[in-house]
Amino acid sequence: MSQLTLALDIMGGDHGPPVILSAALKAIRLHPDFNFILCGDRRVIDPEINQLSEAQRSRVIVRHCEEIVTMSDAPAHALRHKKDSSMRRAIEAVQTKEADACVSAGNTGALLSLAYYLLKTLQGVDRPALVSFMPTAGHHKVLLLDLGANVNCTCEALFQYAVMGSVLAELMMGKTKPRVALLNVGEEDIKGNTLVKLADEHLRSVPALNYIGYVEGDDIFTDHADVVVTDGFTGNIALKSSEGLAKLVASEVKKQSASNVWSRIRARIALPLLKSIYNRVNPDQYNGASLIGLRGIVVKSHGNASADAFYYAIFQAMQEARLRVPEKIKHKIETVLLEQL
Amino acid sequence: MSQLTLALDIMGGDHGPPVILSAALKAIRLHPDFNFILCGDRRVIDPEINQLSEAQRSRVIVRHCEEIVTMSDAPAHALRHKKDSSMRRAIEAVQTKEADACVSAGNTGALLSLAYYLLKTLQGVDRPALVSFMPTAGHHKVLLLDLGANVNCTCEALFQYAVMGSVLAELMMGKTKPRVALLNVGEEDIKGNTLVKLADEHLRSVPALNYIGYVEGDDIFTDHADVVVTDGFTGNIALKSSEGLAKLVASEVKKQSASNVWSRIRARIALPLLKSIYNRVNPDQYNGASLIGLRGIVVKSHGNASADAFYYAIFQAMQEARLRVPEKIKHKIETVLLEQL
């Protein structure tokens, strides 16, 4: 396999460069088939990468940037006034084909705007979508999109998400005919808002997709579908509210475990059990939302990602680069559009 | 306190009358300050209530009905063609003031239509909303609305939900100035879809409400707000997807506990811990979504509620009857509307 290149925005995220760099060093050590472009402040990056061997170091380029997109920067401000930000440089590396993918844990709105502006969407795609894996009760994960790239959504956008999600499930999960579903408030045909009903009708007319109809919120996790499609507003709320409940369970485990000496003993004994359950639903390992529909690969990490979680996002970007996801999406969209003629 | 009356739809729900009747008997035994109108098939109800003492039996009226609204009945069909259904009879008892509240575990769409048609909304309320309590990491629960009564929502509707939710939090949770928030995809002012931005502007102009701005999906569970307001489509997805994650955790506990002999022993020892955690997030105890904004009290139980869960829904209806919720909502809406003049 030929060498691939990953660009990383070192300055994004709530915990600052050390956490991102720790994940980056891990990726550099574990993946010799990748080169890395580290975008950020050289004074922060250089001391850290000195830990690498000479061979590892030879796969790393440090791209010094003077600016940082902050969490409070409006997307338009980041776009117009921060031409030398680490986030922009990472995306530009993808734009110029110097890199095959990029990852950032910075300001989501700014990342979306910059990626959209610099990379442009694929032909047939109006707007990119944010997509992520979620856990299910079955053996497989499920893809949920859009997670918030597009909060005022159209029927056409939902249709495009379905096509893109199907390609991703095929490539990343090895599914031959991924089951694609629309998220709705009831499984009956009469239910749902106007947008969802229109999209349902449209999706039923496309033989190239294995469209299975509606699923409800709780069915995201029951392995009913491989791809669950919804607008960015609803998808973001579904993601965050289920994450919120997972965090509530984790905080209850902590609280209850510490309530008295018996609970502490019980908790100690149960620890491996609790850990293996938590590992199944831990949002960290589902970190890395891909921005798909663009002419290049952009992966967004949670702002508050730990080093482990950021590594998952890097891993996700590497997989997409290896599988050449944008090219495959382009091909599928052409097929579906031809079918529609 | 004077005697109050509760009407129950005995025939609704996935598990049939036995489960509903078991919860009804518990309520009859535990709450001597309530009379009960049991609506349904006399041949099913009579043998069960024979278990009651004579004094308890004297507080029960059996209202025989020939029809049942099934889960697959279209709301319009239930409304026009099932004039003698147990669901309709229960709501009619509220309409005629014979009962102070009613509870059903039947077809949600039909219940909404029948309640809306028979009871009408309060002045100043366009559409009723479904509201339920959810767990939080704090000492208090949180109210989430709308959970699906109104899937094509307007800015005015969101505003009315905020007023109604605030009253409910005040009455049912004893909060003096309940914190009311709008569910959104980000806490920043620039984020959100058009509907949410308009509602935000409107809510900021009302001193009678303690409006605190936006919260994200994960903040439903963090005790940031007492009332979280959203449209029925999003609210239903937030509710169901967090329930789905809770069920996934429960199923993982079961699976992991049974994986080998050590796990089984660990699970046995950890059981009290796991139970007390599960009790905090168990959707059953949050069963009972109130349909508010009507000139009467209607509580909707989950279709697949267990007897315990259905009892929670009954308990919820009793509380609302004792607190005369619709009257208080009417009063608050008048106050807010006057303020707007």
Strand stretches in B184-334, DSSP E: 210-215, 227-229, 289-292, 297-300
Give yes or no for B319 touching A (CB within 8 A): no
Q: Do A238 and B239 touch (CB under 8 A)?
A: no
Return the residue matching tokens 């915990």: A15
Average pLDDT over residues B89-93: 98
Structure tokens at A323: 């599988």
CB-based contacts of B3, cutoff 8 Å, min separation 6: B33, B34, B35
**Better pLDDT: A48 or B259:** A48
Best residue in A245, A268, A271, A302 to probe B by mutation, most B CBs within 10 Å? A245
Two tokens, residue B163:
């007023």
Q: What's the complex ipTM?
A: 0.86
Tell me what percent of the residues of chain A surpass a pLDDT of 70: 95
- Decide: B214 and B186 in contact? Cβ < 8 Å: yes
- Which chain A residues have a beta carbon less than 8 Å from that of B140? none
pLDDT at A341: 65
Query: With contacts defined as CB-CB under 8 Å, which chain A residues touch B152?
Result: 193-194
Taking residues A118-123, what's their average pLDDT? 96
Please list the residues that pair with B183 across neighbouring strands: B215
Task: Say if B107 is an interface residue toward chain A (CB within 8 Å).
Answer: no
pLDDT the model gives residue B250? 79
What are B214-236's pLDDT values in tens digits? 999 999 999 999 999 999 999 99
Kindly list the residues from chain A whose CB atom is less than 8 angstroms away from the CB atom of residue B137. 247-248, 251-252
Tokens for B292, please give them.
Answer: 């508010």
- Rounded mean pLDDT, A98-114: 95
B245–A193 CB contact, under 8 Å: no
- What is the distance in angstroms between the Cα of A30 and the nearest Cα belonging to chain B? 31
- The arithmetic mean of pLDDT across residues A30-54, rounded, is 96
Residues A69-93, mean pLDDT to the nearest whole number: 95
DSSP state of A329: H
Chain A partners within 8 Å of B266 (Cβ)? 269-270, 272-273
Looking at per-residue pLDDT, the higher value among B1 and A267 belongs to A267
Q: What is the DSSP string of B155-181?
A: HHHHHHHHHHHHHHHHHHH--SS-EEE
Highest mean pLDDT among A240-249, B270-279, B319-328 belongs to B319-328
- The answer to whether A41 faces chain B, any CB pair under 8 Å, is no
Using CA atoms, how far apart are residues A57 and A29, in angstroms rounded to an integer? 10
Pick from B193, B263, B274: which is nearest to A151 by CB?
B193
Q: Which residues have a Cβ under 8 Å from the Cβ of A168 and sit 6 or more positions away?
A: A131, A143, A227, A290, A292, A325, A329
Is B185 within 8 Å of A151 when comparing Cβ atoms?
A: yes
Q: What is the pLDDT confidence band of residue B287, given thresholds at 50, 70 and 90?
A: confident
Q: Using CB atoms and an 8 Å cut-off, which of residues 74-93 of chain B contact chain A?
A: 74
Residue A42 in contact with partner chain B when CB distance is under 8 A:
no
What the block records as the tokens of B89 is 């009879």
A260 reaches B (C-beta below 8 A): no
Strand order in the sheet with A210-215: A60-64, A34-40, A4-9, A101-104, A297-300, A289-292, A129-134, A142-145, A227-229, A179-183, A210-215
Residues 6+ apart with CB under 8 A from A157: A126, A127, A129, A146, A150, A231
Residue with tokens 């899937």: B151
Report the alpha-carbon distance of residue A86 to residue A310 in Å, rounded. 16
Predicted pLDDT at A280:
66
The pLDDT, as a whole number, for residue A103 is 98
Per-residue model confidence (pLDDT) at position A130:
94
**Chain B residues with beta carbon closer than 8 angstroms to that of A281:** 245, 248-249, 252
Mean pLDDT score, B152-161 = 92
> Are B267 and A270 an interchain contact pair (Cβ–Cβ within 8 Å)?
yes
pLDDT of residue B254: 77
Give the model's pLDDT for residue B1: 55
CA B200 to chain centre: 25
Taken in order of first residue, the domains within chain A and their CATH numbers are: 1-125+293-341 (3.40.718.10), 131-285 (3.40.718.10)
- In this prediction, residue A248 carries a pLDDT of 85
What is the pLDDT confidence band of residue A161, given thresholds at 50, 70 and 90? Answer: very high
Of residues B158, B157, B119, B165, the one with CA closest to residue B332: B165
pLDDT tens per residue, range B7-61: 999 998 888 899 999 999 999 999 999 999 999 999 999 999 999 999 999 999 9
For the beta carbon of residue A28, count every other beta carbon within 10 angstroms. Answer: 24
Handedness of CA A229, A231, A235, A236 (dihedral sign): positive
Interchain pair B252, A219: CB under 8 A: no
Interface membership of B113 toward A (CB under 8 Å): no
Nearest-5° angle of CA B201, CA B153, CA B341?
A: 45
Q: What is the dihedral of CA A299, A302, A308, A313, to 10 degrees?
A: -10
* CB-based contact, A240 to chain B, within 8 Å: yes
Confidence of residue A190 (pLDDT cuts 50, 70, 90): low
Q: Chain A partners of B216 at a C-beta cutoff of 8 Å?
A: 236-237, 240
Instruction: Answer whether B270 touches A (CB < 8 Å).
Output: yes
pLDDT value at residue B257: 72
- Banded pLDDT at A292 (limits 50, 70, 90): very high
- Determine how β-strand B129-134 pairs with β-strand B142-145: antiparallel
The 10s digit of each residue's pLDDT in B252-283 is 777 777 777 777 777 777 777 777 766 666 66
**Contact list, A246 vs chain B (CB under 8 Å):** 245, 249
Looking at the predicted structure, is the pLDDT value of residue A138 above 90?
A: no
State residue A262's pLDDT score. 77
- What confidence tier does B177 reach under pLDDT thresholds 50, 70, 90? very high
Alpha carbon distance B89, A97 (integer Å): 69
Provide the number of CB pairs (under 8 Å) joining chain A to chain B: 190
DSSP 8-class letter at A85: B
- Amino acid letter for position B276: S
Q: Answer yes or no: are the C-beta atoms of B148 and B130 closer than 8 Å.
A: yes
Q: What are the tens digits of pLDDT across the range A200-230?
A: 999 998 888 999 999 999 999 999 999 999 9
Q: Rounded to an integer, what distance in angstroms lies between the CA atom of residue A289 and that of residue A190?
A: 32
Contact A315, A340 (CB under 8 A): no
Cβ burial, residue B223 (10 Å; 0-12/13-18/19+): middle
**Contact residues on chain B for A233, CB-CB shorter than 8 A:** 185, 192-193, 196, 234
Share above pLDDT 90 across residues of chain A, in percent, rounded to a whole number: 70
* Average pLDDT score over residue span A233-241: 93
Would you call A243 and B217 a contact, using CB atoms and an 8 Å cutoff? yes
State the Cα–Cα distance between residues B179 and B170, nearest whole angstrom: 10
DSSP designation for B332: H
Q: Is the pLDDT of residue A188 over 70?
A: no
- Which neighbouring-strand residues pair with A9? A39
* pLDDT, chain B, mean: 90
More confident residue, B259 or B143: B143
Q: At what angle do helices B232-257 and B261-281 cross, to 10 degrees?
A: 160
**Chain A 172-201, residues with CB within 8 Å of chain B CB atoms:** 183, 185-186, 188, 190-194, 196
Q: How confident is the model at residue B188 (pLDDT cuts 50, 70, 90)?
A: low
